Amino acid sequence: MGKDGMRDPNLETLQRSHEALRELYRVSAEPDLSDEERIERMLDIGRQRLGLPAGYLSTVDQAADDYTIEVAVGDVVSAGDTFSFSTTYCRETVETEEPRLIPNVDETVWADTPAHHEHGLSCYVGGRVEVDGELYGTVCFSGTEARAPFTEDERTLVELIVEWIGDRLEHRRVEREREQLHEAIEASESAITVADAGQGGERPLTYVNRGFEQLTGYDREAVLGEDCRFLQGPETDAEKAAAIGAALDAGESIETVVRNYRADGTPFWNELQVTPIYEGGELTRFVGTQRDVSTRVEQREAVTALLDRSRALLDAETSDEVARVAATAVEEILGYDSLVRLYDDETGQLVPVAGSATELTEVSPVAVGESLSGRAYERGETMRFDPTLFAPGGYGNQAEVTDGLVVPLGEHGTLGIELPDPDPGGFEWRVAEILGESVTAALERAVQRDRLRLYETAIEQGSEMTAVVGEDLRVELVSDSLATFLGVGRDDLVGERVEDLLPESDLAAMVEAAQNTTGGEPGRFETTVNVDDEVRPVELEVSLGAGGEPPLVAVIRDISELAETRGELSRERDRFASLFTHIPDPVADFRFEDGEPIIRRCNEPFARAFGGGRDPAELVGLPSRDLVLTGDPDVDAARRLVERVRNGEPVSEQVRRQTADGPREFLFRAVPYETDDGLRAFGTYTDVTEQQRRQRRIEVLNRVLRHNVRNQINIADGNARLLADHIDDEDLKPIIEGLRSATESVLSVSEKARQAERALAQSRGDGPPPDAVVGNVVEEFRSEWPDRTIEFERPGDPATVTGSDRLEPVVANLVENALEHNGPEVTVRVRLAVDGGRLELRVADDGCGIPRLERSLIQGEQEITQLNHGNGIGLWVVRWIVDTMGGGVRFEDEDGWHAVVVSVPLADD
């Protein structure tokens, strides 16, 4: 109470808030209330505290625009009412994290919203409710009358109610999921157990489901508190049991299949999975699942046994041995009696050859189409015994067989199995058919082995390199010649798998080559083999056996020379293609149609010169005359060239042709060649326009130098001689001698140039023997220089070179050079010798030798300049002539001797 005796409104508000909070705590703590009752009580507490007529919880589906009242108190809305979410006030509420408290909607922007017009509420309180972080709906309080502004206590109360209702909804979801999980675990066919982590190696069971009771036969009440090891028994694998214990001790999961026992002592194969559960980092319990996989394990064991028997079947040598192994396999794998019949070509009947539980002498052969065995063989399909169709003994007088099936063995026979109530498509039926396929394959192999034995002797003794490959792609037979070629023994190859001898791709190619042949012709493909660590190319000629099936017969041929030729042709083709593309001269390849050359292909220079700027590909197919004869003044001459090429004659002539750059001079060369498609020719146009112009200029200069200059030098030399004869003045004599020496030097250079010109213009015939040419020159110098020593050594064997007469100026210049540039005591040695495929001329002296500058200029090691140009023309004449003979020049110095060595090829090379 206040000082005036009135109640304090703030105190009253606080008391009401505290009372509402106490009510909320009582509701949340009351154990007997359901989640729906708690939510309804919380909404009612909030409604009364806020002084509003209605409180409700809604669910919201924004995507579907659905708004549904789930729980309601008051008389404004009822549970189950639905609205369009877009027309509610909650449309704004779900967009924010905090509650919306609006005491008077008419005074806010909400007054013009569809929600206000649709529902007519004047006061609204709403908060967003989330479950597991996802929007669930809203908690709302509303009324049709406005009220005073909300206090902070009221806002806090709303926040608490929204939060608590969200918690109860989350708790309800968890409880529902737990109940559903419990129901699913109880309904599961798998056995599920929960065991405490325990201590001291004991892990007592705290829960087992009905599936565990059904699997093991144990009552759950009897096993709770026990360690699950009570399922182990005499045949439980001790190592697996130890592995399970070790995994659990380490707190790790494990999955295995172990032999366990039911309550009645019957064993079963248990597929066990155990997963550890950690809480707060501490191991608290284990969850295990168990399933009976006895059928699967037994079937797997049967399949394993079947595979083992399949190997034994393939190892059998004869058809009868295959039949015996098959009958034993049926008895051991399926545990039933059987009968194997093989077809006899001579009688046309199915004859019993192997079986169990019945003496074969008591079983009669049957004809194709008769009895169950005959019909299964005829139809090529597995058939079940039908007592309505066959009397007992329907396998063909076999002892009272009343149920079972017969599996056909291809063209070889049948496999009958006395199988109680066989289920088509069932496991035993499938195993029988798989076994039938294995037996069929083994019989095929046995037949092929018999066939191979017929050919073995012929193949082993044949000269061809031959190998026989069986249907399992193992080498069964090789010839002596093949083993010798590979450098191994025959026994080392027999039994090897082809995939170990050939790459996988080649193995596929071998099979494909054999399968794709027609008309009985063998398939062929090429591969490589290693012989003495050397890769050798071979061709395999592969033939299939009868019926287009293995065994394969492969004939191997060494094609090393063919491969080498192919490689050389390929390299030549590549070099030619590169040359054709990159040669700077215009080049075209022509074919002939009605005698006219048509362009097949051409290079870029041809297109630039004659194609008017077009791409080379655009010129393909065009007649040559439309391009290279345009504007030719002598068309008839061009036609004659074409005629010569068409007659198969190579052509090399200088022609004048019109190009994009105007008329040009070309050296035209055409080479015809024959193909399967007819005559073709390559045409090359080498532009010699500038060369011709230079040649004409050189010819003019040559005539001027040879005639005018030489004549004037001869006059000067004559005048110098007259002066020397008529003038006695001692002061003038040195000048006159210098003039005469200069004129004689110029005349000598001119004469050497004439010698070089004559030598270079000489024919390339064989000429006289080189030793005769060199010997004559040596004798001339001995006569002219009698006080000098000139030695000559001839070659031991006769030798010839092309254009041997050209050696005369070569040896003359070299000997003259040695004599003129050394004193009278010098010795000159001339020697001819054959070294390999070349003739060597060696001119040596023991004088001062040729200066280093002269050598470097002649050998091209130093560029000729105004300062570096040499002192004479003799060595240049030698170099020019030797170059035209395809030879070379080198200089050698040894033991005081200085030699110039000329090396030229022999005529035979």
- Extended beta strands in 605-661, E state: 651-659
Average pLDDT score over the chain: 78
Taking residues 445-451, report their average pLDDT: 72
Give the span between the Cα atoms of 822 and 489, in whole angstroms: 75
The pLDDT of residue 894 = 85
Residue 802's contacts (CB-CB under 8 Å, 6 or more residues apart) are: 764, 765, 766, 885, 905, 907
**Separation between Cα atoms, residue 751 and residue 219, nearest integer Å:** 133
Output the six-digit token pair for 140: 């709302």
Q: Compare 471 and 681 and report the one with higher pLDDT.
A: 681
Q: Are 808 and 902 in contact (CB under 8 A)?
A: no
pLDDT band at 138 (very low <50, low <70, confident <90, very high): very high
| Measured distance CA(669)–CA(646) in Å, rounded | 14
Looking at residues 118-138, what average pLDDT do you find? 88
For the residues of 421-445, what is the DSSP string, one character each? S--TTSHHHHHHHHHHHHHHHHHHH
For residues 679-688, b (16+ Cβ closer than 10 Å) or e, as one string? bbbbbbbbbb
Look at residue 731 and tell me whether its pLDDT is greater than 70: no
Looking at residue 743, what is its pLDDT?
64
Residue bearing the bigger pLDDT, 290 or 18: 290
Query: Average pLDDT for residues 528-553, to the nearest whole number?
Result: 71
How far is Cα 110 from Cα 93, in angstroms, rounded to an integer?
Answer: 12
Going by pLDDT thresholds of 50, 70 and 90, the confidence category of residue 823 is confident
Gyration radius of the chain's alpha carbons: 57
Could you give the strand order of the β-sheet that contains 134-143, starting from the edge strand earlier in sequence? 82-84, 66-73, 54-61, 134-143, 123-131, 100-102
Residue 80 pLDDT > 50: yes
Output phi, psi for 571, to 5 deg: -65, -40
pLDDT band for 71, please (50, 70, 90 cuts): very high
Distance of CA 50 to the CA centre of its chain: 77
Contact partners, residue 409, CB within 8 Å, separation at least 6: 340, 342, 415, 436, 439, 440, 443
- Mean pLDDT throughout 636-660? 86
The predicted pLDDT at position 397 comes to 42
Nearest to 527 by CA among 519, 535, 517: 535
Q: Report the alpha-carbon distance of residue 180 to residue 168 in Å, rounded.
A: 18
Does residue 44 carry a pLDDT above 60? yes
- With cut-offs at 50, 70 and 90, classify the pLDDT of residue 58: very high
Asked if 890 and 870 touch (Cβ cutoff 8 Å), the reply is no
Taking residues 31-56, what's their average pLDDT? 87
Task: Report strand pairing: 827-835 vs 789-793.
Answer: parallel
Which position has the higher pLDDT, 179 or 833? 833
The residues near 348 (Cβ < 8 Å, ≥ 6 apart) are 367, 368
CA-to-CA separations, 786 to 553, 781, 789, in angstroms, rounded = 86, 8, 8
pLDDT > 80? residue 310: no
Q: Are 283 and 277 in contact (CB under 8 A)?
A: yes
Question: Of residues 841 and 298, which shows the higher confidence score?
Answer: 841
**Averaged over 328-335, what is the pLDDT?**
74
Strand partners, 406: 383, 416
At residue 389, the pLDDT reads 44
Given a cut of 80, whether residue 250 has pLDDT beyond it is yes
User: What distances in angstroms separate CA 197 from CA 141, 252, 303, 617, 821, one per listed residue?
Assistant: 50, 12, 40, 85, 115
CA dist 38 and 53 (Å) reads 19
DSSP classification of residue 84: E
343 or 713: which carries more pLDDT confidence? 343
> Sheet containing 254-261: which strands, arranged edge to edge?
205-208, 191-196, 282-292, 267-279, 254-261
Residue 859 has pLDDT above 60, yes or no: yes
The residue-averaged pLDDT of 470-480 equals 77
